[in-house]
Structure 1
């Protein structure tokens, strides 16, 4: 089991997938369609260029659970304007599965079962991000860059360190149309793995004749591009609506609704209704996938998402019921987040 975990999770073509989960319950409620409209501390993840809209110190926290509570997903972020033109932000992400049974020494050399030899370990992914955003001389155009350090650890068996960069921009027209683009892993993020040979030997002895070769020690994360268009409307007095359409692009063939050998595109659509910017109702649809049925036909699936939020002065609390992993058929997660704007309390 542990060998499969190491090879299946740590050493795969699509590496660092935990960095694609997303952050902020408000964004999850909109189906993650926020690349163009993101304009707060959470922009450090969605679009660093949006950090230029942060007018004072902001902080954010989020907690979610995955696989019916087996996986814990936590996030914290902080943003502060440097001056009228630029903003600095940092964030921390942890995604972990704790208390996994280590049964590599369950059976001793004489073939006896000894349950006292069972121990526990964790498979944990960490990411530390530092972002910088700046307004450009072109009216309405902002840019942002995000550097990330990634640390992944699978008990005492293996661990890795990696580094990568994201780049982004946002543009707002005079008619308040908003456009955004986020290029993740623009430098091809890498992870260099260190494998404990002694611990790995235990796996080889525990499963004779299987998985004898040590996994590769270097994995790369291909660049991904996200593009979004957003527009806000006044529905009627005191009620407003935010709409956005995003295109999430990978340079590989997948089950996405639009897919070729070179590029796959997964669209996302989000709506947010608000009353006086105090109470929020959100819906979103994403993860459009094509599947081949047993009879040879094809089926298209999608994932709806739902969210609500409330803001009073400088505190905003949001909730979303969403499929955070964007994997069809998996159970939905309850996502909670809070955002604090210090400017309201000065």
Structure 2
């Protein structure tokens, strides 16, 4: 019964996303690229490579050659796997294109809803496996504007979410962004996510869901709603690059992440909530990088009704040689608690290495 109840809870939590409309597609907010994650995702203004398709598509305009990026990380004691792949290329001197795919999934979940038949007989051959997986496919385009240093970018996103044979959904959304770089190494970026709201339409397999409803007697499991939306979010960033003795660099960025709702962010009103993030990257001869950052500040309510400020620190290192860059980040998916820290690895390949 404990196993059957666990399966039911997993399905109920996943399907309940359709009822919590403004928190849908949260897997698209985790972030990509170990270099950015090592700086607590503070990269909206400074991003300038293949990963800009996720962080700020306007940054794709800085590409000088085709680039490929790969990333893998595991969360919740390796229960959930997060994978990312992206490719980007300059179209001409004034425009660029990119495509990326994200997969966040829990695989090989035991389906024990048919373990016990109507007569109460236990048959372990009736146990099967299923996966719950979220996919995000993004097409990005960037172009220079007439003002020197100013560019814009747009994303078109297709969301696919699958919960075994129980339910699946399709979603569509748009992002828009701008980026500006001055002659004195100041950088500014604005990223508006889900500007039209992202819509997900669910298809519920009622026959399969009925098996879940019957798995635990006495429970009232109604079918979830079949439509959900993702409300817009805004990210504002400013970055500055400092160079010391030619060989050493320090780049700092401060981002403000804005959600148009009231929640536990460190700055919260009835109209919007603001969460700051600060990232630092120290570089040596454009080859070795050390990174750190802090973000995700939350006012968490404690048992005694007091509030405790929590935050999410991050650390990372990187190594680049010619057109190959390998990055590592040690970061948390939530706050500074020890249990949820994950190791993130990413690889970036610039096709100029083959020329």
TM-score class, shorter-chain normalisation, is: over 0.9
Task: Note the alpha carbon deviations across 1:224-257, whole angstroms, 9 max, x for none.
Answer: 0000000000133411000000011111121111
Task: Note the alpha carbon deviations across 1:6-53, whole angstroms, 9 max, x for none.
Answer: 442342330001000100000011110000000000000000000000
Q: Which residue of 1 aligns with 2:130?
A: 121
Q: Distance in 2 between matches of 1:81 and 1:300?
A: 43
Q: Which residue of 1 aligns with 2:3?
A: none
Q: Give the TM-score taking structure 2 as reference length.
A: 0.94
Query: Relative to structure 2, which stretch is displaced further, 279-288 or 211-220?
Result: 211-220
1:220 aligns with 2:240: no
Q: Which residue of 2 aligns with 1:59?
A: 68
Q: Distance in 1 between matches of 2:165 and 2:345?
A: 32
Q: Distance in 1 between matches of 2:336 and 2:203?
A: 32
Q: Which residue of 1 aligns with 2:10?
A: 5
SS at match of 2:352: helix
Give the C-alpha shift of residue 294 in structure 1. 2.5
The RMSD of aligned alpha carbons is: 1.3
- Decide whether aligned partners of structure 1 residues 310 and 328 sit closer, same or farther in structure 2, where only a CA change above 3 A counts: closer
- Pick one of 6, 11, 28 that aligns with 1:19: 28
Unaligned regions of 5+ residues in structure 2, if any? Answer: 1-5
Q: What stretches of structure 1 move > 4 A for 4+ residues in a row?
A: none
Q: Which residue of 2 aligns with 1:139?
A: 148
- Pick one of 107, 131, 139 that aligns with 1:130: 139
1:291-330 aligned within 5 A? 291-323=300-332, 325-326=333-334, 329=337
1:61-210 aligned within 5 A? 61-210=70-219
Task: Note the alpha carbon deviations across 1:145-200, whole angstroms, 9 max, x for none.
Answer: 01011110000000011111111000112222111010111110011111111101
Query: Relative to structure 2, which stretch is displaced further, 103-112 or 301-310?
Result: 103-112
Are the counterparts in 2 of residues 287 and 328 from structure 1 also a CA contact under 8 Å? no
Query: Relative to structure 2, which stretch is displaced further, 202-211 or 146-155?
Result: 202-211
Q: Distance in 2 between matches of 1:7 and 1:68?
A: 21
**Aligned residues, how many?**
345
Q: Distance in 1 between matches of 2:336 and 2:134?
A: 22
Give the C-alpha shift of residue 3 in structure 1. 4.2
Are the counterparts in 1 of residues 310 and 335 from structure 2 also a CA contact under 8 Å? no
- Pick one of 22, 34, 44 that aligns with 1:35: 44
Q: Distance in 1 between matches of 2:351 and 2:188?
A: 28
